[in-house]
A and B are shown apart, each in its own frame.
Chain A
């Protein structure tokens, strides 16, 4: 069953077209890599899916519900985005970073949120970083916190914006494993990357934007 369907999506900035009649369909558990030169609109695609940009025409269907020009509220949590520079909340600890969206947006009780967060931290091998602040973490750790924060709210689609750009080879392997595991759990995954070999290795399908 497809969780995400994009039909004839058009998006331009100041009259300059970035995405032209772009179509895509992703099923549960599928990994799709989007490759292409930088500045060509790969990130824009992720921003459109996550409601950060209004689209000019076409449609984005998430879980059989159409997202027209603007994002409906309850659809936001169906899709998670891990930003290239992670955008962790610097004033909160690792565990607070993960709990906050659960408590604030999903209205889950704090006790339950803590349980969910601890499980995730364990899975991502961050259990000893629970009370650290983002500035105290390495790049790889920060990325894993961002992943934990995004998947805590249990989205069906997870978008990665250049997940390998700031990592050394050893850490690339680690994030590779994490992404694979997420897919095994049934998440639909879109990876935007300029690293063609990484994209080809990890993805079930590679799409190049020209």
Chain B
């Protein structure tokens, strides 16, 4: 028994020493990355149409992707797309596996603290999607109802700020928006709280009999997230984006995806 305890203690001490030693080495490695690399690795959860998703040839496409391609062309670096799990996006970014998160990511206070964020390039509202045949017309009508939402999304965070949050019956988090919609289709939930951009795409491309309910929340801003120390890279991308706004190429891409220029770059 004594032997066992001593053994376990020794192992724990070794592990702790290892971690401490490791943290020291890590500090030395913390420097500005990317700028001089040949690749620009864009991290995305490739299941967010129409911003970044896989089409029926398995290509990753979307509005964000087209803009990123043009930006990289102007930076003279090669664009690499790296699918990631949305829940692990901060670790992926910090560990240098990806250089940015560019995937219709909403600006939040939390993200502003942990990343360097680009200028906002698009506005987006969070909306409720309900079936056409329902009687729900306003946010008020959804009191006491079940709401579906994608877990880890800003929709999940923002739902807490809606005026009916405290009076909801249940909030159900799904791994992705599709499952959330399917559950509503099956009448398991009453509404899905989701990005307007995605909802519009979904309703249009599937001819769904759904309607949307707007909230009085302030509109979201889509931004690109970089590592905290990569401010130089962030500035570079910002400059190229306004360059693209000025020469009309950004509007052109926007028209291709949304039928009009929805971008908010100045």
In the complex, A touching B, CB below 8 Å? no
Residues of A participating in the B interface, judged by any CB pair closer than 8 Å:
none
